[in-house]
Amino acid sequence: MNLRTFYLSILFIGVNCSVSSYSQTKTTSLDKSPDNIAYKRIELKEFAFKNNWYWFEDENAKLFGIINTDGVVVIEPLFQQVESFVEGISIIRKDGFYGAINQEGVFIIPYIYEDLNASNELRIAFKEFGLWGFFDQEGNKVVPATYETVEDFSEGFAVVSSNYKFGYINFNGKLVIPLEFDRAEDYEMGDAEVEYKGQTFYINKHGQRIRE
């Protein structure tokens, strides 16, 4: 993932995230609303909607919402965290739960999940009741919450685990390489490094051992 996150604390640590505090971003201070609330509009292209909407921060409440170019609030400031768009999807957080919105401003995943991670391969990992699955970019659940851990898709495959054993699912969520490895890495150039009973070697996309 290559994304930025606006977060209420000055420092937010996340895997493969480009971290940025709000004070360091390109923003525009808007006139105060009728309720005397100070707004700042986020103008980074990574956060841009397709319909001239913008994320903005209510500087008093320290929450994020959506505003249009005329300064009209489209969605009230509700969210403690918003992320840059990855493949047209932005992850949001409200009251400790995560959801997702697309660049048309449609909430495709309700903010009811324990965690969400956008992927560069048109899949969104979600955590529900302590287990992980995947949504597609339309918000359809293509892999139910089944696995203890999941990784981003790479070359059409994602590493998943259950009971401390690792295997691979394909883009459609089918377990194509069994959960039998003690460790498994992402595919690169058609090969993936795995560990099995103390031995480390590479497998192809059929799960066949090809080299040490």
In this structure, which amino acid lies at residue 1? M
pTM: 0.81
With the CA atoms of 49, 53, 56 and 58 taken in that order, what torsion angle do they form, in degrees rounded to the nearest 10?
A: -140
- Domain ranges in the chain? 3-147, 152-212
Q: Which tens digit of pLDDT belongs to each residue from 95-152?
A: 999 999 999 999 999 999 999 998 778 899 999 999 999 999 999 999 999 999 999 9
Mean pLDDT of the chain: 85
Neighbours of 32 (CB within 10 A): 12
Q: Which residue has the tokens 């996150």?
A: 5
